[in-house]
Amino acid sequence: MHSLFRTMTAQPALDGKPAQLIELTNATGVSVVLMDIGATWLSCRLPLACGERREVLLGVGTMADFERQASYMGVTVGRYANRIAKGNFSISGHHYHVDTNQAGNCLHGGKSGFNEARWQIEEQSACHVLFSHRSSDGDQGFPGNLSLKVEYRLTDSGEVNISYSALTDKATPVNLTNHGYFNLDGAESKVDVRHHQLRINADEYLPCDSVGIPLGELASVDGNGFDFRNQKSLMQDFLGDQQQHQAKGYDHSFLFNSERDRSQPIAQLISQDKKVKMEVLTDKPAMQLYTGNWLAGTPSREGEYSDYAGVALETQFLPDSPNHPEWPQPSCFLKPGDEYRYSTSYRFNF
């Protein structure tokens, strides 16, 4: 059993009870550890051919550090992942103001988002766990009673599939994602993730202001540092433009082609030592690339992380979508009678 079962439960969570942890394993020896607090992905260990068991997911080792870290490592974020400008949006002429928790904007659902909640464990087996959560009408200012489920499933082919579903009794924006940070050279390796190779199958990205709010118009990746259509190192064009300079790196969303083949990866990440490759498959319309620009001081399992210690590939709707119905993606508003249903897979080859 993973040592996290001991260290993460030595102290109670915010509700005074210890966290519940679940370990998934497959036939090839991949191990994934999950936690009910935040429906969090805590660990992902791969058995390399050289005999190394490589931890590729950034994370903490104690509940105190989990509550102290502000980088959303491995958690399920919502109701609305990413940012909503000034916490404002309207539905059918009715104005809503939700909790603002970063630079006057709503980030990842507000001060007490889904990342802090204790989720219920509805099902579990050696290869899957199903979490559920109920967010009441008015939670962080969002309308509607929202019932949601997140399932993690580990396949024998080395794929971690995360499936999301949600129902509401009142129209509300919903945008769920996992905020895992990856370092395929090893989470505690001290290898700068900017030495990883990355490919993203996207022709457009979304320019933002200095606090991550979209400027409004999508932009082509042609001829600039946001062109990842051919594999390149994250370092190659790093800080090569004003958009990156104001964010201290990449912290931007990429919009996928709506006509794409969803059975094919939309992103591929390769470790510096070339021993691990991770492919991302999703039916979400976009993905936020975040190169861990502000990770310095974040607690790790062995001390603290530095900036650029890990990269997040967060599949989602575009940020501030509630205020941009003109963007070419499905509506981010979930209505009564409809179901929010999306999935993302992280496929590891090693």
pTM comes to 0.97
Domain 4-193+289-349 annotated CATH 2.70.98.10:
yes
Cα gap 155→166, rounded to integer Å = 24
Q: Classify 203 as helix, strand or coil.
A: coil
pLDDT confidence bin for 209, thresholds 50/70/90: very high
User: Which tens digits make up the pLDDT trace of 230-275?
Assistant: 999 999 999 999 999 999 999 999 999 999 999 999 999 999 999 9
pLDDT confidence bin for 127, thresholds 50/70/90: very high
Q: In whole numbers, what is the pLDDT of the chain averaged over residues?
A: 97
What is the tally of helices (H) and strands (E) in the chain?
3, 27
The residue from 179, 196, 252, 324 that is catalytic is 179
Mean pLDDT to the nearest integer, 271-296: 98
How many other C-beta atoms lie within 10 A of the C-beta of residue 103? 13
Share of the chain above pLDDT 90, in %: 100
User: Which tens digits make up the pLDDT trace of 157-181?
Assistant: 999 999 999 999 999 999 999 999 9
Across the strands, what pairs with 133?
148
Residue 195 has pLDDT above 90, yes or no: yes
Domain positions in the chain: 4-193+289-349
User: Which tens digits make up the pLDDT trace of 133-159?
Assistant: 999 999 999 999 999 999 999 999 999
Cα gap 113→115, rounded to integer Å = 5
Q: Judging by DSSP bridges, how do beta strands 106-107 and 94-97 pair with one another?
A: unpaired
| 23 included as an active-site residue | no
Share of the chain above pLDDT 70, in %: 100
Q: What is the pLDDT of residue 296?
A: 98
Mean pLDDT to the nearest integer, 51-64: 97
pLDDT confidence bin for 306, thresholds 50/70/90: very high
Across the strands, what pairs with 190?
none
Q: What is the pLDDT of residue 177?
A: 98
The residue from 151, 159, 204, 314 that is catalytic is 314
Residue 1 has pLDDT above 90, yes or no: no
| 245 included as an active-site residue | no
